[in-house]
Amino acid sequence: MASIFPMELFGSHLNVRPGVFIGYWKKEEANNIYSFTLYPRALDISGSDEPDVWRWSWSESDPRIEVEVAELLVGHDLVVNGIFEMSHLTPGKKYEIFYMLYFKNPPAFEPRFSVTLQLPKGKPIVTERPLKIGPEGRAVVEGGEFVASADGQVKFSLANPDHLEWKKGLTIVGVSIRKSRLDAVV
């Protein structure tokens, strides 16, 4: 995984210029390699149907499109699950997953998250990752790397089960599945 804070994820995650916005996810193509952003409504977020725990609102990042984001209102367990069809990706190319978050009041410490990645016919790979906080409350958690196959699903999750108040105000912006910077054809 790249060790720098990937600002370009936030700079373009709501930009419709080269990409195609499809329902709850967006597809971009560069050199015949597809990258995707899954927005919060495409994800399974624990407790997201509880209005005293999560607030759904329209993102104001780009007035040209409407995308809902989910803001955590209280210190609550955080579990975000996603599934994506490998057939949308370029087989043999290496991809990386990033969870894009935003904090109104970023924590003064570096919280850690449990991330899980499961490929078709594979066992779940669970690792612990730090939250990388960048400018203006933007934050990223790296979700892992994988080589795309022609079919099947990639499953991924982000979890922090404590009920501590530092998560209050955390907003889930989306999940980026993009070509790895360290791509190698396998």
- Give the model's pLDDT for residue 53: 93
Collect the ranges in the chain with pLDDT lower than 50. 1-22, 184-186
3-class SS shares of the chain: helix, strand, coil, % to 5? 10, 45, 45
Q: What is the pLDDT of residues 112-132, one digit of tens each?
A: 899 999 999 899 999 999 988
- Give the model's pLDDT for residue 10: 43
Q: What is the pLDDT of residues 91-117, one digit of tens each?
A: 999 999 999 999 888 888 888 899 999
DSSP, collapsed to helix, strand or coil, labels residue 105 as: coil
Tell me which residue of 138, 174, 182 sits closest to 41, measured CA to CA.
174
Q: Which domains does the chain have, with CATH numbers?
A: 26-180 (2.60.120.260)
Q: What is the DSSP letter of 121?
A: T
173: left (phi over 0), alpha (psi -120 to 50) or beta: alpha
- Give the model's pLDDT for residue 65: 62
pTM (two decimals) = 0.81
